[in-house]
Structure 1
C-alpha cells in the first residue's frame, strides 16, 4: 500500500545552519518565495519559509478557506524543530497568533517569540467584505490599490493573474470570515514591526500587548508602506528580525 502524501509545508532557505529555527509565514496570497532569500542574511537561524496549499510548489493542492482549518492542519502537520520562532507578515501574522493558540490546545511545543509584521491586533482588524468574490484581475487590482506589492506585469497578464488570484482569494476568504474571540494572553513574547506609511497605525500595532503576558511588546516602525521590508532598509529590517529571534 502506498504511503499517504505528506504535504511539503516548508522550504529551507539556503545559508548556514544555526541553533534556532525561524518559521516565516507569508502575507495574503504570498508564497515561500518571499523568504527563501533571507537565509544567508540571518546568521545563526535556520530559515524555513512556510508554503501554504494552493501556491508555489503546492499549486495543485486545494487551498484552505477557513482559519480553523488552516491552523489545525499546520498545528498537526508542520514539523516543529525546537527551539523556534514564528515570523508572519500581514495575513501571516494573524496565522502565527492563531496557530500558537492551537499549539497550546494540542500540547505541542510553542515558539520562543512571535515576530508580527504589518497587521493590527486581531480585535481591531477590519477587512473589506466581498474581495474574495471579485474576478481575478479586479481582486488583484483592489488589493494592490490598498496595500501595493503586486507587479504591473502580473496585473496585465490574465493567466498570471488567474494563478496568483487563487491563493489570494482563499486567504481573503479566511480574513473576511475570521472572527476573533477572547482567550487568555499567550505565554510568548511579541515583537511587532511595521511601515510608517502603512495604513496600520502604531497604536494598532501596539495593541498587540494585550495578547501576551510574557513582558512588554517591542514595536518598531521602518520607513515604508505595507511591504516596508522589500524597500531600501531591507538589511536593517533583517538585523531587527535576527536580534528578535535570538532573544
Structure 2
C-alpha cells in the first residue's frame, strides 16, 4: 500500500494525493476532496494559511498529473482504489466540497468497513445529505452546451477566462461530464451512522438549501454542526477566512 508518510521516511509517490511538504513535521493532516471538475491544487494552497497542517488534495484519475488516465464514472471504484493505495496519517480530518463531500463521506464508510483509523472530523460542504433523492436530469442526456449552461445555473459557472479558452474547455468538459456521471450512477445504501463528528457547511445563496444540509444529522452518532457562510456554491472563493478558521479549529 502506498502511504503518506511522516517527513524523513521514504515512500513511493501516491498519485491520489497532491501536497506541498512542510518544513517541519505537521501537527495534523487535512485531506481535501475537490468538487466536480475540480483540481486538488485549489485546496492544497490552503496549507499556506493553516500553520502546522499538512494539506493534501485528492487527485482523481483524468486530471492534474493523472490526465493520461481515463476518468472514473463509478464512485465505489474510486473509493476502493483510493483506499487500496492510501493510508491517511493521523491525526487527520477529511474535507469535501460538493461532489467531494459525497466522496469523503463514502471514504469514511469504507474506512469503517476495513477497520481503519477514522478521521477526527468529517467536514462536508455544499452537498445535501446523501440519503436525499436527486432530481437533476442525467448528464448523459446533455450536450456540451447544455452541460455548460447547467454548471452556470447550479454552481455559478466556469470562470470566464477558462470558458473562453476552447482548448482548455475541450480538456475540462470530459472531466466535468465524468464526475457528474459518477454522481448520476451513485445510489445511496442505508447503513449505520458514522461514529465521527460532522461539520456541515454551505453558502447562504447556494442552490443547496439549509434544510438539505440539516438532514446530515441522520449520518452521525456524534455532534453535527451546520453552518452557512455569505456567498454561493463556492462561498470560500470570495472570502476564505471563515472556512479556514473552521478548518484550523481542533474541535
After TM superposition, the score normalised by the length of structure 2 is 0.89
Map of 2:225 onto structure 1: 218
Q: Find 1:192's aligned residue among 188, 193, 200.
A: 200
Q: Find 2:156's aligned residue among 126, 133, 148.
A: 148
Deviating beyond 6 angstroms after TM superposition, the runs of 4 or more aligned structure 1 residues are none
Q: Root-mean-square deviation (CA), in Å? A: 1.8
Map of 1:159 onto structure 2: 167
Alpha-carbon shift at residue 6 of structure 1 (Å): 6.6
Change (3 A) 1:160 1:135: farther
Change (3 A) 1:6 1:33: closer
Alpha-carbon shift at residue 80 of structure 1 (Å): 1.3
Map of 1:33 onto structure 2: 41
Alpha-carbon shift at residue 88 of structure 1 (Å): 0.3
SS state at 2:106 partner: helix
Change (3 A) 1:124 1:104: same
1 CA distance for matches of 2:36 and 2:87? Answer: 22
Alpha-carbon shift at residue 194 of structure 1 (Å): 0.6
Q: Find 1:237's aligned residue among 225, 238, 243.
A: 243
Alpha-carbon shift at residue 26 of structure 1 (Å): 0.1
1 CA distance for matches of 2:220 and 2:60? Answer: 26
Alpha-carbon shift at residue 108 of structure 1 (Å): 1.9
**What do the CA deviations read for 1:194-238 (whole angstroms, capped 9, x no partner)?**
100001111111110110012x2111110000000001x311221
Map of 1:109 onto structure 2: 117
Change (3 A) 1:108 1:169: same
**What do the CA deviations read for 1:27-72 (whole angstroms, capped 9, x no partner)?**
0110102112101111221111111110111111111111111111
Map of 2:7 onto structure 1: none
Contact 1:120 1:207 in 2 (8 A): yes
Alpha-carbon shift at residue 78 of structure 1 (Å): 2.0
Q: Find 2:57's aligned residue among 49, 54, 78.
A: 49
Structure 2 unaligned residues grouped into runs of 5+: 1-11
After TM superposition, the score normalised by the length of structure 1 is 0.91
2 CA distance for matches of 1:125 and 1:12? Answer: 34
1 CA distance for matches of 2:81 and 2:63? Answer: 16
Change (3 A) 1:133 1:78: farther
Structure 1 unaligned residues grouped into runs of 5+: none
Contact 1:26 1:89 in 2 (8 A): yes
**What do the CA deviations read for 1:167-208 (whole angstroms, capped 9, x no partner)?**
111111111111112100011110111100001111111110
Change (3 A) 1:225 1:145: same
Q: Find 2:128's aligned residue among 120, 135, 148.
A: 120
Alpha-carbon shift at residue 130 of structure 1 (Å): 2.6
2 CA distance for matches of 1:59 and 1:230? Answer: 25
Aligned residue pairs total 239
SS state at 1:35 partner: helix
